[in-house]
């Protein structure tokens, strides 16, 4: 009975749906491979260069120092010594290999190439005879996470999670270098997994507590054409929520219901994002429409109820998890950098399924805000959580015990080049405005598309089109960002007080304006193109105030400030060592100015604000002040001060600044001396939302 049920659930549904056909072999909209896109200048080039030259090597060095790389050498008997660290540390190294491989696509680097070869040799040595690869167990490091035997504790062992990242790294390294060494390790591993798990009485019916292997197996399938890997990805997804077949992990692991019945995003946010991305991949590769309707519902839930303004997901520190609907706190927001990445990867795949610009709107919001804050401009310091307010003291770190975020950043930045363009048959999609040159091979022939732009600092973009054959006819689809036309997010969760309209967008070909009519968020320019044709785009980029849906209690009576795709914030470095005491009255005016942070010039804003102060009795007074706002991603480069994104529009909701200086001879680690004079009143003596100062056990 069990196997019959399973067989039924694993039957592929080949039906025709919008965008997918019965012969669906992959996404209907295709990205343009990294190798074919060169980032040229502007906002992103320094980021790409810093990633390639600083972050890749910083991450490798830290992995060497912390034993992450020795673990492979030791498991492979290339050196002596015990396992060091946490069993999922293997995945960190795979992620850096993936990111480093992407950088080689456009920047051949013999030193990096040779370093990767050496590292891959260690990984191959660490692999056991039958393909098993998990350095902790091979080195005899067993604990409550690993379980005593292979696969005995899959809810938390990360055995399949680790190798999911191995598969992604292997596919990337093979695609870029053509070398099979890591791909062979990955295939040997996947063959073991395929022998161990799957339908039929003889195989195990487990799934990973931390999703990732699903994405990895799909990439391995694309790299090798081995259909067993795709089937296995689908098997692991279909195992979730199957209480008739296995003991479930629960909602934290998205394992409370079969995936096709899940409609609300719950649990650990990174795991959820990877699951939904994996479902999109499998849906694209198999034509399974039940997955698509599930991820469509989950996406609606996230964008309308669980998305922070900076594009972050996973509101709660506890469990690094989604909160309830509309639970979108600011200071306590968790918003792990990895969750931002998972959300972006998922949204890119949703675009590739549906061809709608709204998914790129979410991706762009993440890329410029809640993802980018995760890495310092210098490329060697990182945020793990990305909150929307800080009382000071919070800053980026060089590394973490659990260092998933720094290594995820390395592999994400290069992929932005791939996200910038897409194609479907003859149609070319310009999704992200990144100064770059892309060579596309379409059904209308080869076309070179070159973008020149200072986006996001202004909304002017020039796109030069050069078809290999003059007169080639094809539609050019230019994404009109939601923020430009009154839809900062594709839901009612955040709205502009004075919404942008189609009148804020002008597009011309060789100087002649084209009608601004949107279809799935794109303006289509369908014509015969000649070398020298230029598309000029101007998106008006005024400062816009944003309000949150009334159900978002933490943003009640508050407004945020955006300009183009950028969320702005105030931090104490520019505002006389305070920021939380700043309120922005609804009528306050803004002026653009510029600031330089670590040598990077950026557009800042001057705003007519009010600074709220309080005396020891909590009596408040307000003083006019010119506040400086900077892009959110750039905060915390000049000391760990106060910061806020959602500004109160009345003095009552501000956190007043105190001009009373306090000091103490002793302060317990969870206390703050500033709490004595911050003028903030707790609701009761145990109110955890308010900073406190206690005198126990000292007098
Ligand atoms: Zn992380």
Please answer whether residues 603 and 568 qualify as being in contact, where contact means their C-beta atoms are separated by less than 8 angstroms: no
Q: Give me the pLDDT at residue 618, please.
A: 74
What is the rounded radius of gyration, in angstroms, for the C-alpha atoms of the chain? 26
Pairing mode, if any, of strands 647-648 and 494-496?
unpaired
How many whole angstroms separate alpha carbon 167 and alpha carbon 189?
A: 9
pLDDT value at residue 291: 98
Output the pTM of the full model.
Answer: 0.93
How far does residue 77's CA lie from ligand 1's centre (Å)?
30
Centre of ligand 1 from the C-alpha of residue 338, in Å: 4
pLDDT at 423: 97
- Of 684, 536, 569, nearest to 636 (Cα)? 569
Give, rounded to a whole angstrom, the gap between the first and last alpha carbons of the chain. 70
Bond prior to 697 in cis (omega within 30° of 0):
yes
In angstroms, the CA 382 to CA 372 distance is 10
Q: What is the mean pLDDT of each run of 10 residues along the chain (699 residues)?
A: 39 37 75 95 96 98 98 98 98 98 97 98 98 98 96 97 98 97 98 97 96 98 97 98 97 98 98 98 97 98 98 96 98 97 98 98 98 98 97 94 97 98 97 98 96 98 97 98 98 97 98 97 98 98 98 96 98 93 91 95 96 82 94 97 94 75 72 72 73 68
Rounded CA-CA distance 447/426 in Å is 10
Q: What confidence score (pLDDT) does residue 17 get?
A: 40
Structure confidence by residue, pLDDT tens digits, 424-440: 999 999 999 999 999 99
- Residues with a catalytic annotation lie at 320, 404
Q: How far is CA 674 from the centre of its chain?
A: 34
Quote the ligand 1 centre to 680 CA distance (angstroms): 33
Distance 23 CA to ligand 1 centre (A): 37
Q: Distance between CA atoms of 457 and 654, rounded to whole angstroms?
A: 29
Tally of CA atoms within 13 A in the half-sphere of 306 that contains its CB: 29
pLDDT at 245: 95
Ligand 1 mean position, distance from CA 69 (Å):
19
Kindly state the helix (H) or strand (E) to which residue 112 belongs, with its residue range: helix 110-126
- Position of tokens 């302060």? 667
User: Are 321 and 268 in contact, with CB atoms under 8 Å apart?
Assistant: yes
List, in order, residues 6 or more apart from 7 with CB less than 8 Å away.
199
Specify the pLDDT at position 47: 97
Q: What per-residue confidence (pLDDT) applies to 302?
A: 98
pLDDT of residue 667: 74
Token couple for 475: 């539609």
Separation of CA 398 and ligand 1 centre (Å)? 14
């Amino acid at each position: 009975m069990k196997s019959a049920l399973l067989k039924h659930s694993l039957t592929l549904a080949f039906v025709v749906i919008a965008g997918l056909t019965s012969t669906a072999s992959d996404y209907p909209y295709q990205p343009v491979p990294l190798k074919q896109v060169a980032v040229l200048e502007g906002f992103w080039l320094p980021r790409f260069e810093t990633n390639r030259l600083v972050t890749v090597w910083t991450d490798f060095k830290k992995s060497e120092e912390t034993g992450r790389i020795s673990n492979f050498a030791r498991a492979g008997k290339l050196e002596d010594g015990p396992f060091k660290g946490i069993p999922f540390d293997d995945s960190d190294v795979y992620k850096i290999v993936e990111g480093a491989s992407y950088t080689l696509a456009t920047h051949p680097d013999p030193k990096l190439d040779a370093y990767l070869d050496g590292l891959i040799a260690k990984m191959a040595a660490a692999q056991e005879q039958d393909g098993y690869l998990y350095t902790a167990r091979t080195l005899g490091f067993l604990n409550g996470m690993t379980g005593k035997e292979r696969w005995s504790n899959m809810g938390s062992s990360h055995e399949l999670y680790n190798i999911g990242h191995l598969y992604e790294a292997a596919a990337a390294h093979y695609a870029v270098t053509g070398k099979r060494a890591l791909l062979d390790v990955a295939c040997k591993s996947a063959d073991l997994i395929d022998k161990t798990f799957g339908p039929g009485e003889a195989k195990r019916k487990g799934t990973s507590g931390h999703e990732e292997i699903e994405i990895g197996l799909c990439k391995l399938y694309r790299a090798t054409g081995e259909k067993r890997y795709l089937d296995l990805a689908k098997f692991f997804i279909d195992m979730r929520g199957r209480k008739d077949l296995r003991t479930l992990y629960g909602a934290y692991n998205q394992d409370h219901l079969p995936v096709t019945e899940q409609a609300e995003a719950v649990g650990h946010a990174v795991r959820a994002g990877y699951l939904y991305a994996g479902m999109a991949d499998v849906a694209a590769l198999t034509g399974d429409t039940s997955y698509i309707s599930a991820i469509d519902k989950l996406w609606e839930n996230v964008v309308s109820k669980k998305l922070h303004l900076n594009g972050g997901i996973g509101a709660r520190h506890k469990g690094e998890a989604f909160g309830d609907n509309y639970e979108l706190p600011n200071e306590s927001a968790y918003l792990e950098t990895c969750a931002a990445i998972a959300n972006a990867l998922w949204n890119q795949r949703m675009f590739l399924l549906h061809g709608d610009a709204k998914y790129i709107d979410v991706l762009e919001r993440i890329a410029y805000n809640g993802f980018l804050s995760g890495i310092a401009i210098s490329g060697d310091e990182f945020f793990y959580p990305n909150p929307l307010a800080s009382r000071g003291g919070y800053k980026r770190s060089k590394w973490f015990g659990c260092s998933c975020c720094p290594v995820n950043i390395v592999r994400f930045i290069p992929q932005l080049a791939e996200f910038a363009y897409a194609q479907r048959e003859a149609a070319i999609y310009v999704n992200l405005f990144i100064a770059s040159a892309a060579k596309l091979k379409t059904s209308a022939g080869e076309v070179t598309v070159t973008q020149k732009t200072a986006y996001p600092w202004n909304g002017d973009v020039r796109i030069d089109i050069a078809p290999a054959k003059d007169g080639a006819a094809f539609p050019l689809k230019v994404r009109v960002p939601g923020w430009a036309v009154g839809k900062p997010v594709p839901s009612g969760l955040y709205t502009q007080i004075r919404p942008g309209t189609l009148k804020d967008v002008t597009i011309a070909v060789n100087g002649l304006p084209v009608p601004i009519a949107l279809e799935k968020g794109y303006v289509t320019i369908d014509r015969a193109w000649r070398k020298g044709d230029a598309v000029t785009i101007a998106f008006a980029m005024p400062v816009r105030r944003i309000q949150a849906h009334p159900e978002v209690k933490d943003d009640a009576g508050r407004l945020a400030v955006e300009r183009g795709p950028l969320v702005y914030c105030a931090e104490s470095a520019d505002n006389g060592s305070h920021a939380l005491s700043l309120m922005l009255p609804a009528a306050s005016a803004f002026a653009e100015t510029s600031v330089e942070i670590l040598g990077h010039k950026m557009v800042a804003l001057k705003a007519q604000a009010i600074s709220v102060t309080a005396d020891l009795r909590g009596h408040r007074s307000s003083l006019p002040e010119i506040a400086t706002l900077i892009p959110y991603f750039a905060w915390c480069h000049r000391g760990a001060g106060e910061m806020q994104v959602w500004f109160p529009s009345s003095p009552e909701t501000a956190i007043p600044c105190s001009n009373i200086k306090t000091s103490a001879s002793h302060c317990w680690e969870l206390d703050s001396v500033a709490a004595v004079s911050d003028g903030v009143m707790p609701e009761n003596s145990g109110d955890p939302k308010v900073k406190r100062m206690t005198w126990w056990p000292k007098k």
